[in-house]
Amino acid sequence: MNNAADIIMIFLVLTNLMLLGLSRLGACIRFVALQGVALGFLPLILNHWDMEVHLVIFSIVIISLKGIVFPWMLNRTLRELASQREVEPFIGYGISIIAGTITLVMCMWLSSRLPFPEPLMSPLIVPVAFFTIMSGLFLIISRKKALTQVLGYLVLENGIYAFGVALVGKQPMLVELGILLDIFVAVFVMGIAIFHINREFDHIDTDQLSRLRS
Amino acid sequence: MILALLLIPVIAAVLSLIVRNDILRRIILIVTAISHTAITITAWSVEPSVLWNGWLMLDKPGLLFLTITSVLFLACSFYAFGYLAGEAKSKKQVFEEETFFTNAPEAIFCACVEGFLATMTLVTVSQHFGLLWVAMEATTLASAPLIYFHRHHRSLEATWKYLLICSVGIALALLGNFFMVIAATKPASEGTAIVLNALIGQGHNLNIQWLKAAFLFFLVGYGTKMGLAPLHTWLPDAHSEAPSVISALLSGALLNCAFLGILRCYQVCSAAGEAQFCQGLLVLFGLISIGWAAIFILGQADYKRMLAYSSVEHVGILALGVGIGAGATFGAMLHAVNHSIAKAMLFMTAGNIIAVYKTKTTKDVRGILSVAPITGVLWIAGFLAISGIPPFGIFVSEFTIAKAMIEQGRIGIAVAFLAILAVVFVGMSAAFLNMAQGPKNNDLQAKDRPAVAFTILPPIALGAIALMLGLYIPPVVNDLLHSVASVIGGY
């Protein structure tokens, strides 16, 4: 079963690199959604397809939120934006991918040095989770559009979630659902804010949100 | 009792969305605030029962921060009553630019402000770190629409920065939560649940490396929300663009709640014997914040931004106080109370000044004392209170912190601390005194706003409390502050 977890991890690495290199916003949304669906299966895989009610519900909630609801909300926002569907990076796609690869190596090195209390299900999980977190932060910093920043936030969150599922195991359901609810509302509120930014400024480039200084 | 504290604001928020009448909605807001404060005060004498296996419990630090939040909310609800009545429904001009805007619907304002109270209450009563995280992120989401109450692009920019920076920061704190779970996991056994008391009980069995990493992430994550420099970048924008009453709540209540999150993790670290590591970091971040704020206060052209940077300075002092430890811990707790009250009073007064002068630019405001005498006196009193001039409370708390530094022989830090405070004092006095004095501008009339008593009385009441805490700290408050200080490793 470890193979399945490894495949998901490799899939995460590839989608992260894709996100760093993609120029179409619509495609970015689809890849973040795919990441979410893959992660939704992670708790089931790590527990050897043990169909506990708690786990199944959790997986279904994750997949429907990250795979269906978020992409739908973001796509709806994207449709409002009519003509602006490019990512518009501050840092070019090629350099982004190279930076991503270097980060991946560093994450591998870092996690080989961390002491873990229990042997891990898959040696790839920790480096990949850290890499996903770093990719998310990189997307937030290096892209102009407010929508890409939300995507970056979702990728960051995916990384943290992967880390949590792999290492922390079962947390009380209430906390897990609370965290998901918060993220859902966060994306919802950010979506509304983007809608207003678009209406107010006729664009969603955050580098022009710079009137408030010192 | 805890459930009542949480549910009353939630029910009020739902009612606010349903009710169509503006006046009724404002009354609901005030009733919510009064009942919340009443229950909080009862909690001082009757200890509320523990709920959900100890997940929800009002311990001493929680009680202190809950009381600050509740009292400020009470003052703010009265102020909001007057503020909302005075806000025109029609289009208005943005002060700095030639564009026009309208306000968000009042129902959204009331519902969000009540939801904000509920989430902050949840922060203070959460003993489970996961629940604490959920509550902390919820405070961001509930308050974001409040910053965007004046619907123009400046406030929108501030809201976006607030949402994104705080959400990312708090996401990092979630990673800190996971690190803490790992720290509590022992090989081949069930880990301890990350409930505060359980972790403190397990103190010496925790994995130190992971715990240190957890504290780091908590400090960065919740520190972003608390406004510790250099993570404070959202704070001046949000505080200057939000309606003044919201700025008062953000500065006085929210920053403290975020600080409570850091303190909770600090408690666990002290139990594991790692207090020194955390204190070093807190002192570092504290000094950076105070220094950074001082630089931006000097020559600040916008008086609400100046107040915001002053908040960065004061959260720095809070971190510094806990970082120094011993007697300074008591000082820091007293400072949290004093700062909240003085800063809320100043933001409310700033709101009244804006209502008269229609500008946030410091140099365009002259002669408040002659145009609006009460507001002028409050502005001067607030300035004296916030810069730690005796007999106001902040003098006592800053003095306690400085004294503890000298007692520990950390003269370098003490000198730097006092020097920066002096710089801040000079920077703020130039702005505040110029605004208060000067010739009366004849085009301006202190127009009697419809509910002027509501916007004047709350800052007067807060000013009176700030003054009282400098002269006499009631024994009950003193005992609570000391017991909070002893819980977090000082006295």
Instruction: Please give the torsion angle defined by the CA atoms of residues B195, B198, B200 and B206, in that order, rounded to the nearest 10 degrees.
Output: -90
Number of alpha carbons in the 13 Å side-chain half-sphere of residue B179? 23
B234-251 as b/e: b if 16+ CB within 10 A: bbbbbbbbbbbbbbbbbb
Q: Which of A142, A156, A189, A201 to mutate to test the interface with B (most CBs of B within 10 A)?
A: A189
Per-residue pLDDT of chain A (214 residues; tens, 9 = 90+): 467 888 888 999 999 999 998 888 888 999 999 999 998 888 888 777 777 787 888 888 889 888 888 899 888 888 877 656 677 778 888 888 899 999 999 988 888 887 777 666 677 888 899 999 999 999 988 887 888 888 999 999 999 888 888 777 666 666 777 788 788 888 888 888 887 777 777 666 777 777 676 5
Domain ranges for chain B: 2-487
Tell which of B139, B157, B216 to mutate to test the A interface (max A CBs under 10 Å). Answer: B157
> What are residue A96's DSSP bridge partners?
none
Q: Name the H helices within B272-410.
A: 275-297, 303-324, 327-357, 368-371, 373-386, 393-407
Residues of chain A in contact with residue B164, where contact means CB-CB under 8 angstroms, are: 140, 149, 153, 190
For chain A, count helices (H), then strands (E).
8, 0
Q: What's the pLDDT tens digit per position in A69-123?
A: 889 988 888 887 765 667 777 888 888 889 999 999 998 888 888 777 766 667 7
Whole-number Å distance between alpha carbons of B74 and B86: 19
CA distance B108 to B103: 10
Contact A182 B138 (CB under 8 A): yes
Q: Are B434 and B440 within 8 A, CB to CB?
A: no
Locate the domains of chain A by residue range. 2-208
Which chain B residues contact residue A174 at CB under 8 A? 131
Residue pair A152/A143 in contact by the 8 Å Cβ criterion: yes
What beta strand segments (E) does A4-103 contain? none
Chain B closest-CA separation from residue A27 CA (Å): 22
Whether residue B164 and residue A196 make contact (CB cut-off 8 A), yes or no, is: no
- Give the span between the Cα atoms of B199 and A114, in whole angstroms: 22
Of B130, B158, B185, the CB nearest to A171: B130
**Residue carrying the six token digits 């994995």:** B207
Q: What is the pLDDT along chain B (491 residues), one digit of tens a residue?
A: 888 889 999 999 999 999 888 889 999 999 999 999 999 999 988 888 888 777 888 989 999 999 999 999 999 999 998 888 877 666 677 776 767 777 878 888 999 999 999 999 999 999 989 889 999 999 999 999 999 888 888 888 888 889 899 999 999 999 998 888 888 876 555 666 778 888 888 878 888 888 999 999 999 999 999 999 889 989 999 999 999 999 999 999 999 999 999 999 999 999 888 888 999 999 999 999 999 999 999 888 899 999 999 999 999 999 999 999 888 999 999 999 999 999 999 999 999 888 888 888 888 888 888 888 888 899 999 999 999 888 898 999 999 999 999 998 889 999 999 999 999 999 999 889 988 888 876 566 555 454 578 888 999 999 999 999 989 999 999 999 999 999 888 77
Annotate A174-189 with b (16+ C-beta within 10 A) or e (fewer): ebbebbbbbbbbbbeb
Looking at residue A47, the DSSP 8-state letter turns out to be T
pLDDT tens-digit map of B161-212? 898 999 999 999 999 988 888 888 765 556 667 788 888 888 788 888 889 9
Residue A24, strand partner residues? A86
Rounded Cα gap, residues A179 and A170, in angstroms: 14
In whole angstroms, give the CA distance from residue B266 to residue B455.
38
- Phi first, then psi, for residue A143 (nearest 5°) are -115, 145
ipTM of the complex: 0.88
Q: Which one of A118, A134, A156, A168 would you mutate to disrupt binding with B, by most B Cβ within 10 Å of its Cβ?
A: A168
Q: Residue B169: CB partners within 8 Å, gap ≥ 6? A: B220, B221, B222, B223, B224, B225, B231
